Amino acid sequence: MPPRTTKPSQRVAVPEGAAGEACETGELTERPEERREQRGAALRATEGPFEVSVWPDQALVKSGESLVVNCSTNCPDPGPSGIETFLKKTQRAQWKEFLLEDVTKNSILQCFFSCAGIQKDRSLGITVYQPPEQVILELLPAWVALDEVFTVKCHVLRVAPLENLTLTLLQGNHELHRKTFMSLAVASQRAEVTIIAKAQREDHRCNFSCHAELDLRSHGGGLFHSSSASKLLQTFEFSQHPQIWVSPIMEVETAETVSCGMAQVFPAKELMFQIFFGDQELSPFLSWEGDTAWANATVRAMETGDQELSCLVSLGPMEQKTRELVHVYSFPPPVLEIEELYPLAGTDINVTSLLFDYREPQTSLPLGSPAWLLLTTREEDEAEIFSVRPLWRFRVNDKPRLEESGCPGNQTWMEGMEQKLACVPKGNPTPSLVCTWNGVIFDLQMPQKATQNHTGTYCCTATNQLGSVSKDIALTVQELNEDIISIVVVLIAALGIGIFSIALYFNYLPCKIERRKLPYRHKEENQEEERQFAVQAETCNAHDMTVK
């Protein structure tokens, strides 16, 4: 068989990437442009227009976290593709999956594909959210006077999106105010709410708090809740000055009771008292009634001279102080000196008593002149102890009393007349007396013009170092009608005439007595006495003529 001869082959340029296919088929491959046109025509003929999709269809991501986005197409031979975003991205799984890192702002992502010379894209809206983790409540001021305003402010740090936020201010479990941010312009939104209120008594020691709620259910998320720490509101009334009740004179080393009180104060039971006598702080015993509070303490002066008694009253950030000066005196016992300690019976001995001034221990100067006493001793005096008692006063201590005679439990005032509440305590040392009416200290020394408003029950408390006693006084104010006025006028007139008559009688009586004595005078009296009696008789006669 004759050898086979071949024709010289022609060299054909094969694009890179198509050589493998030509080797496998043993055929030369078309140009790339021709191949894409053929495939595009085949796609249009068999499947119709290609589609682009993105996953997820809506994206909700917490601020600062990452998001995986999947872009895909049904194009069998896609051309250039990707996503357009300002976020930092990393392509994963070749061309269809991307990781978006550190997402901090809302944005719109564009996913695009080209297929057979046609480009399509799909948008993805990315919503960034931040839960309300820090809810802060401000209550200013924490202590507020009655009828003054206070501010409650709540704000949330780093929360988004604001249009899904609701802030609620609470007083205890009661809702004070609710605020949503859906209708506000984005540029003017701040996650805060503020109310201003006037302080009332019922607001005292109330807790205020703030609750934040972020609702992301419309974005495919859930509900986020957070609350602030509670703040306590303190309301007060502190407009009066404290008063001190103390004797201006005090004996050294003798226990005395002092009192310090304050009226029209709220809350009275939270009032704090500090009582000082010089540099010594006393231990007070506290009492309350209505809007009045007072403190009693026992003081014992150890040094003579002028000492300052001070009372500091405080309520929250408020405090007031008052002072009183007390003079402390000393009255030491006398010193007894006996001339002979072992005298013989029937002999005379001298006893001397001296009273020293111990205010100056270094000198111990005697006060006044010494007292001497001469005694004749007797055998039975052996067991007796001689003592000298100076002429001074001593007292017997007694608890305070409010007896019916000095402090009647039922009293009546006449309307329109100047009246005082009658209540005099008994006891030793003299008790201090405090009377209150409707929670206010009532001034017993100042006369009051009686009105129907004075009708009521008054509580009087007498206190000294041995204790205290209280008594209720029911006061009634009677209307002063014309009949009573007439009776009062007649009584006053009669009383005036009686007093005037008594005065004339006692003024005229000595003259009558002297007249009766004149006829019985002895004739031996000298002429000077007779002249004096004559002058006195003429004076009495002249007085009688004037009276008639």
Instruction: Extract the tokens encoding 252.
Output: 């050294």
End-to-end Cα, the chain, rounded Å: 202
Q: Would you state the pLDDT for residue 388? A: 44
Following DSSP, what letter does each residue of 429-461 receive, concatenated?
SPPEEEEEETTEEE-SSS-EE--GGG-EEEEEE
Angle at 477 between CA 475 and CA 481, to 5 degrees: 160
pTM for this prediction: 0.48
Q: Would you state the pLDDT for residue 370? A: 63
Q: Would you state the pLDDT for residue 71? A: 83
pLDDT digits over 365-392, tens only? 455 556 666 666 554 554 444 444 444 4
Residues 6+ away with beta carbon under 8 Å from 280:
299
Q: How far apart are CA 441 and CA 451, in angstroms?
A: 18
* Segments of the chain scoring below 50 in pLDDT: 1-33, 35-36, 38-46, 93-94, 186-187, 357-365, 379, 382-395, 511-526, 533, 535-537, 539-548
Nearest to 238 by CA among 299, 315, 165: 315
Q: Would you state the pLDDT for residue 539? A: 45
Following DSSP, what letter does each residue of 261-290 receive, concatenated?
EE-SEESGGG-EEEEEETTEEP--EEEEET
Q: How far apart are CA 119 and CA 360, in angstroms?
A: 116
Q: How far apart are CA 447 and CA 42, in angstroms?
A: 119
Looking from the CA of 206 toward its CB, the CA atoms found within 13 Å total 20
Looking from the CA of 16 toward its CB, the CA atoms found within 13 Å total 0
Give the count of beta carbons closer than 10 Å to the beta carbon of residue 450: 20
Instruction: Extract the tokens encoding 264.
Output: 């029209």
Q: Would you state the pLDDT for residue 374? A: 65
pLDDT digits over 164-202, tens only? 999 999 999 999 999 988 765 544 567 899 999 999 999
Q: How far apart are CA 23 and CA 26, in angstroms?
A: 5
Q: Would you state the pLDDT for residue 534? A: 52
Radius of gyration of the chain (CA): 55
Nearest to 197 by CA among 182, 208, 210, 211: 208
Contact 213, 178 (CB under 8 A): no
Cα dist. 210→22, 160, 192, 229 in Å? 76, 18, 10, 8
Q: Would you state the pLDDT for residue 485? A: 58
Amino acid letter, residue 399: K
Q: Would you state the pLDDT for residue 104? A: 86
DSSP-derived secondary structure letter, 323: E
Instruction: Extract the tokens encoding 98.
Output: 């991307």
Instruction: Extract the tokens encoding 464.
Output: 């000294």
Burial code of 269-288, b = ≥16 C-beta within 10 A, e = fewer?
ebbebbbbbbeeebebeebe
In the beta sheet, which residues pair with residue 287? 294
pLDDT digits over 317-365, tens only? 899 999 999 999 987 666 666 666 666 656 776 766 665 544 444 444 4
Q: Would you state the pLDDT for residue 389? A: 44
Contact 268, 331 (CB under 8 A): no
